[in-house]
Amino acid sequence: MRNLHGKGSKVVCYISAGSWEKWRPGAKRFPASVKGRNLDGWKGEKWLDIRKIKTLRPIMERRMNVCKKKGFDAVEPDNIDGYTNKSGFKLTYNQQLAYNRMLAQIAHKRGLSIALKNDTAQVKKLVRYFDFAVVEECFAYNECGRYSPFVKANKAVFVTEYKTRNVAAKCKSARNMEFSLIFKKMDLGAWRRAC
């Protein structure tokens, strides 16, 4: 961490804020009542009932405390779009907004920046609460333009694509939109290709 900070880099702490993962420290803190359906393709991971903010808030506070204690600059909460998935719960757009705003409040109270990750439909409602956006495959899903409110608010948009087709065209589009774009493999190893 010191080495990265010494180079002027900012370091981002990943947490899953919308799912329970059986392998994570603190997994036993989640009561069965907040665990929903399995995430497609992710063994040992279940959606959370984000309506139960009073139960989940202290767990998320603990996670962000760990990020802060370890010296991270920002937090990237993943799976914060349960309302658009088959979570096992009847989650609404407004319930997701409330939960995501709560996450931003927790991060900012600790002096951490926070990324909005993949919650495309709520960008306009959340851009003022989040400091930057982390987006996976917006070119593949033809939804990159929906993140332009971040650029208009002078906030960064970091895009990762997992398919290396049409690299030059995607890089040109990313530059035009003022996004940062890299290409990665799905296993998220060290390999990357930047524009």
Residue 112 sits in a domain whose CATH number is 3.20.20.70
Segment 111-124 mean pLDDT: 96
DSSP characters over 77-106:
EE---GGGS--SS---HHHHHHHHHHHHHH
Contact 14, 78 (CB under 8 A): yes
pLDDT at 7: 87
| 63-75 mean pLDDT | 97
- pLDDT value at residue 165: 85
Over range 27-54, report the average pLDDT: 94
pLDDT band of 186, cuts 50, 70, 90: confident
Q: What is the pLDDT of residue 163?
A: 86
Residue 143 lies in a domain: no
Q: Which of 109, 116, 148, 112 is nearest to 132 (CA)?
A: 116
* Exposed/middle/buried for residue 88 (C-beta within 10 Å: 0-12, 13-18, 19+): middle
Would the pLDDT of 69 be above 90?
A: yes
User: Is residue 153, in this structure, part of any structural domain at all?
Assistant: no
pLDDT above 90: residue 25: no
Q: How confident is residue 145, by pLDDT bands cut at 50, 70 and 90? A: very high
**Could you tell me if residue 6 is inside a domain?**
yes
What predicted TM-score, i.e. pTM, was given to this entire model?
0.93
Q: Name the one residue in this structure whose structure tokens are 């009542």.
A: 33
Tell me the pLDDT of the chain averaged across its residues.
95
Q: How many domains does the chain have?
A: 1
Average pLDDT of the segment spanning 14-24: 95
Please, are residues 147 and 120 in contact by the beta-carbon 8 Å criterion? yes
Question: What is the average per-residue pLDDT within 161-166?
Answer: 88
Confirm whether 151 is domain-assigned: no
Percent of the chain with pLDDT strictly greater than 70:
100
Q: The domain containing residue 22 runs over which residues?
A: 2-130
Residue 4 in this model has a pLDDT that exceeds 90: no
Please report whether residue 8 resides in a domain: yes
Is 177 inside any structural domain?
A: no
27 pLDDT higher than 90: yes
Question: Can you tell me the mean pLDDT for 61-83?
Answer: 97
**Assigned domain for 167 exists:** no
Q: What is the pLDDT of residue 28?
A: 94
> Does residue 119 form part of some domain?
yes
